[in-house]
Amino acid sequence: MGGGAVGISGAARPAWSVLIDAIEALSGASTMEQVIEIVRRRAREISGADGITFVLRDGDRCFYVDEDAIGPLWKGQKFPMTSCISGWAMLNKRAAIVPDIYLDARIPHDVYRPTFVKSLMMVPVRIEDPLAAIGAYWAHEHEPDAQEAELLQNLARATATAIANVTLQTSLRNAAEQATAQAAEIGRLYDETVRENAERRKAEEQLRQAQKMEAIGNLTGGMAHDFNNLLGIVIGNLDLMVAGTDLGEQTRQMSGEALDAAIRGADLIRRLLAFARRQPVQPKLLRINELIRGIGTLLGRTLGERVKLTLELSEQAWPIIVDPAQLEASIVNLANNARDAMPNGGRLAIATANRTVDEDSAEQLGTITPGDYVVVEVADNGSGMPPDVAARIFEPFFTTKEKGRGTGLGLAMVSAFVEQTGGRIGLYTEPGKGTVFRLYLPRAASEEIESEAALPVMIPGGTETVLVVEDNEQLRRVAMRALSGLGYRVLEAADADAASRSLEAGPVDLLFTDLVIPGRVKGRDFAADALVRHPGLKILLTSGFPDTVLDAAERPNGWRLLTKPYRREELARAVRDTLDGTA
């Protein structure tokens, strides 16, 4: 039989054309089953054989995965490599051509007698380290010519590449070095590898971004401790000032405004920590319109006179459950981006509306569950974005702003926040016409909004003895002032040694200690040791490090943790609850 081939249909086709078709088909295969089916069908066309078999190497055994030459006799069977011709081809790393199987000592003749096979060619897949073999069987004596042999060997090489490609996909390209080598080889053979390389580069970029985010999280966590201590001093002293009775009205108003600003600063730290996954979100049931109206004045000052802000808020907007601070930050961020897109002025509209997303709409929007949503729309008539920019706008660290004006984190934070709520953010933009962001926020199951509780007229106090262990002198002084004003007898210590002396000197009812104190032990370990020596002692922990909020190991025995910066009433309630055993 010569270089031409006859397909199953009987129509003659050039063998090289069949090989090219086989290579193209193998390049698109995504499973081993697809590879085997393509090889069996195309090998028969290339060789004109009466039957084809596909054998995988399984350690020191040959595994006959699929074949139509021997019928069900061998399909699914495993044999020692040394007892079959496919094993011989793989062990010797070269093709086995057998014109007459009954004249070849390598063939187990008795096994073949029930079959139609009279001649065969067995080609190893991947010469340097065979992992499979392709066999062609003829019902008559036949010796493939040079072109037939070359075609089958080329098919074997393409098969090796296809198997490597499938392995590469299923292992999620974790072996980057091997994936690069295999993708380069596939790239020379198939157009499909362009997509493979792009996906791998994207995965590597995502890994780099994840590493950047981890670094930001670590940096943010360390800085948060210091900022929270500073804010604790500011908030604590302002709380005491506002609670005083000897302030003039103007001073009280100024102190209140400064206190509000400090509390907003603490909220900002929490938002940054939540984005860096160092702080849990704090969702609340709220009505979106009240929040948007509340920040309208702030936006008016931020946007400037050249940007006209309008609010189009649906009075029927459903309640939602979100972190108010993060939602506010998201809207402000979108508004600021809109301002930057309108350097010569323009219009910015913030609207709310109810929307029920059905199955069809959910499919169009992407990753969103069908259901009821409140949609917050932030629209401007600014410069808009070209498609290549819009495609990357939510990537961390991607920014089109000039150096020093943007970090590339703003929209990534907005997107992450919306997804945390179970919603989705949509983007509609056109160069020269403007941009619309739509935040889909899930409707709350309950319609009842709890009113904000007013500050209690009488903040709980007591007469017990409290030992405050805090190395920051100013923050320690704030806590002592607050507790003394509540009637407690207050002792102070800057480190574990001084605290130990205070505990030994006289009875102490409550130990209020930072988790990080100078000395050889942590505040947690110091408290545990103190409890052993003073069994009736109550423990209240505090920390400016955000990681401890999530780490239950830092709070053994269910000890309460008061996160810095804390308000005067929060400190009072935590101390009282701890002393009363209700914390």
- Residue 549's H or E segment, with its range, is helix 547-550
What pLDDT, on the 0 to 100 scale, is given for residue 87? Answer: 92
What pLDDT, on the 0 to 100 scale, is given for residue 451? Answer: 47
End-to-end CA, the chain: 90
Report the amino acid identity of residue 336. N
Cα distance between residue 91 and residue 87, in whole Å = 6
Tokens of residue 98, six digits:
């057998």
Nearest CA among 96, 103, 134 for reference residue 118? 103
Nearest CA among 326, 212, 201 for reference residue 268? 326
Beta strands, E only, 126-256: 132-138
> Please, which contacts does 384-389 make with residues 24 or more away whose CB atoms are closer than 8 Å?
384/341, 384/429, 384/430, 384/431, 384/432, 384/433, 384/434, 384/435, 385/429, 385/431, 385/435, 386/431
Cis, peptide link before residue 565, omega less than 30° from 0:
yes
- What DSSP state is assigned to residue 94? S
- Report angle CA 515, 521, 526 to the nearest 5 degrees: 65
Cα distance between residue 290 and residue 450, in whole Å = 13
Distance of CA 515 to the CA centre of its chain: 30
Helix (H, G, I), strand (E, B) or coil at 560: strand
> 425 and 377 in contact (C-beta within 8 Å)?
no
> 163 and 35 in contact (C-beta within 8 Å)?
yes
Cα distance between residue 70 and residue 63, in whole Å = 14
This prediction's pTM: 0.41
**How does DSSP assign 500-513, residue by residue?**
HHHHHHS--SEEEE
Cα distance between residue 546 and residue 564, in whole Å = 9
Helix (H, G, I), strand (E, B) or coil at 371: strand
What pLDDT, on the 0 to 100 scale, is given for residue 206? Answer: 54
Q: How do the pLDDT tens digits run along the chain, 583 residues long?
A: 333 443 333 345 577 888 888 888 888 888 888 998 899 888 888 888 998 999 999 999 999 888 776 555 678 888 899 988 999 999 999 999 999 999 998 888 888 888 889 999 999 998 888 999 999 999 999 999 888 889 999 999 988 888 888 887 767 555 555 556 666 666 666 666 666 666 677 656 655 655 555 555 555 555 665 666 666 677 767 766 766 656 666 666 676 667 666 666 666 666 555 555 445 556 788 888 888 887 777 777 778 788 888 899 999 999 998 888 788 888 888 888 888 889 888 999 999 999 988 887 777 777 788 889 999 999 999 888 888 888 888 776 667 666 545 555 678 778 878 888 888 888 888 888 899 999 999 998 876 555 444 444 467 888 999 999 988 888 888 888 889 888 999 999 988 888 899 999 889 999 999 888 887 677 888 888 888 899 889 999 988 765 444 455 555 566 888 887 778 888 888 999 899 887 5
Tokens of residue 183, six digits:
């993708």
